[in-house]
Amino acid sequence: MNWDDTTEDTAPERLVGSVADREDQAVEAALRPKDLGEFIGQEKVREQLDLVLRAARARGATADHVLLSGAPGLGKTTLSMIIAAEMGAPIRITSGPAIQHAGDLAAILSSLQEGEVLFLDEIHRMSRPAEEMLYMAMEDFRVDVIVGKGPGATAIPLELPPFTLVGATTRAGLLPPPLRDRFGFTAHMEFYEPAELQRVIHRSADLLDVEIDTGGAAEIAGRSRGTPRIANRLLRRVRDYAQVKADGRITRAIAEAALKVYEVDGRGLDRLDRGVLEALLKLFGGGPVGLSTLAVAVGEERETVEEVAEPFLVREGLLARTPRGRVATPAAWAHLGLTPAQGSGQQDLFGA
């Protein structure tokens, strides 16, 4: 968090929040696998990436550029760090929104060391001028720096040391083909199965020195939305509950009680998810309703509903997008224990 130097931001709640964020980040960093052997799940991606890295090491060359796509929390950042570790190279981390000008990218690229890994998160949100500069950097390890303006502007070529770009995106479809084609290896990361998440939870519990049985791990895994990051976050919250309300050991009963306190239901829906469904069912009879109207009804920004709640609800078969708006499915009515309203918008699911 960056605070204005001219303002006294010493309010206790801000300081506490900042400390809590740093502690969470420290815990997450401690739980990250350090090599491909420790990384759980994504078997195909791990196998393919292992071949790419082994071959590069055998040639004594830098690894090809890597593009990782998939939903947030599946391990894209972790894999970028593993790539650097496996290649014995340093890593530089930045993101697309932070690179709004070609000069921003040129400054980063010109300071890279030979063999260094540049992790560019949310690469689809990079500005177009920077994106065009990246084409040449990836292919020829060179950028043209423009000096001056107008007719007198001069392009000065700047040679770059060989490096490996690891791009991460949650929306691969937004990447232009010329950029996608410059990656030597692309991988799509899938959501995790409950059994894989149980392995993640048991590993994290060992690192956190938390005792957890099979039932407790299964309960947390079943509510983690197929995402390791969420599984680790829920594990830490259940650990807190077990330490305060019980003997510190996590069982299925303890996990159920803890997740009820934190408003995470049996399918992994949280307060926002249920709020969206309840508004859709109770206020709009199941839809169809426009996204903006739905967001106002739950008191959230449109982007929050669209990017945070909606993908999971659609994947769970509880909500559908139709040309006329969002529509609740029969499963949504059943999940909340409600009876479909007469004349609800369910027919929109079938294009009627």
Active site residues: 76-77, 121, 170, 229
The angle subtended at Cα 69 by Cα 67 and Cα 75, nearest 5°, is 100
Cα within 13 Å of Cα(36), Cβ side: 17
Amino acid at 4: D
| Continuous H helices in the chain | 12-31, 43-59, 76-87, 102-110, 128-140, 177-180, 194-208, 214-222, 228-245, 252-261, 271-278, 291-298, 302-304, 310-315, 330-335
Q: Which of 127, 172, 138, 158 has the alpha carbon at shortest distance from 64?
A: 138
Quick one: 224 exposed, middle or buried, by C-beta within 10 A (0-12, 13-18, 19+)?
buried
Q: Which of 297, 292, 284, 346 has the alpha carbon at shortest distance from 319?
A: 346
Residue 290 is classified by DSSP as -
3-state secondary structure of 123: helix
In contact, 269 and 222? CB cutoff 8 Å: no
Round to whole Å and give the CA distance between 326 and 37. 42
In contact, 221 and 197? CB cutoff 8 Å: yes
Residues 165/171/175/180 CA torsion (nearest 10 deg): 50
Amino acid at 315: R
Bridging pattern class, strands 142-147 and 154-159? antiparallel
